[in-house]
Amino acid sequence: MENERVGVAPNGDVLYLFSGKEHPLSNFYPSPFTLDESDMGLGSGPQTYSTAEQYFQWRKAVLFGDEQTAAAILATDDPGIAKSLGRQVTVTFPSVT
């Protein structure tokens, strides 16, 4: 496949390297899927995502309580816009004592 090559890690593991949004392993590749996270207490039922990037950015916004950005991420099928919106989420971690 174009923009793909195989490499070897220092420990001998085979690495499949790729670049480009058109590659099936890219988070930007159009690959709609539906998840129902309600059984884990993480949603209200099945939700369809257009790309892995959309899901990743939506999950981040929800995790950090930014419901407005989460809704905006779900409203777009453009993974670049989803990524841009996800960058607006304020990521905070609880203090460790």
- In a domain, residue 91? The reply is no
- In a domain, residue 95? The reply is no
* CB-CB neighbours of 51 under 10 Å: 23
- In a domain, residue 30? The reply is yes
State the pLDDT at residue 95: 65
State the pLDDT at residue 5: 78
- In a domain, residue 81? The reply is yes
Listed as own residue / partner, the contacts of 50-56 with beta carbons closer than 8 Å and 24 or more positions apart are 50/77, 50/79, 51/27, 51/77, 51/79, 51/82, 52/27, 53/27, 53/28, 53/79, 53/82, 53/83, 54/79, 54/82, 56/27, 56/86
pLDDT by residue (tens digit) across 27-43? Answer: 999 999 999 988 877 77
Range of the domain at 71: 4-86
User: What's the domain count of the chain?
Assistant: 1
Residue 68 neighbours by CB under 8 Å, 6+ apart: none
Phi, psi angle pair for 47, to nearest 5°: -135, 135
- In a domain, residue 40? The reply is yes
pLDDT by residue (tens digit) across 43-93? Answer: 778 999 999 999 999 999 999 999 999 999 999 999 999 999 999 999 887
Residue owning tokens 């816009």: 81
- In a domain, residue 64? The reply is yes
- In a domain, residue 93? The reply is no
- In a domain, residue 57? The reply is yes
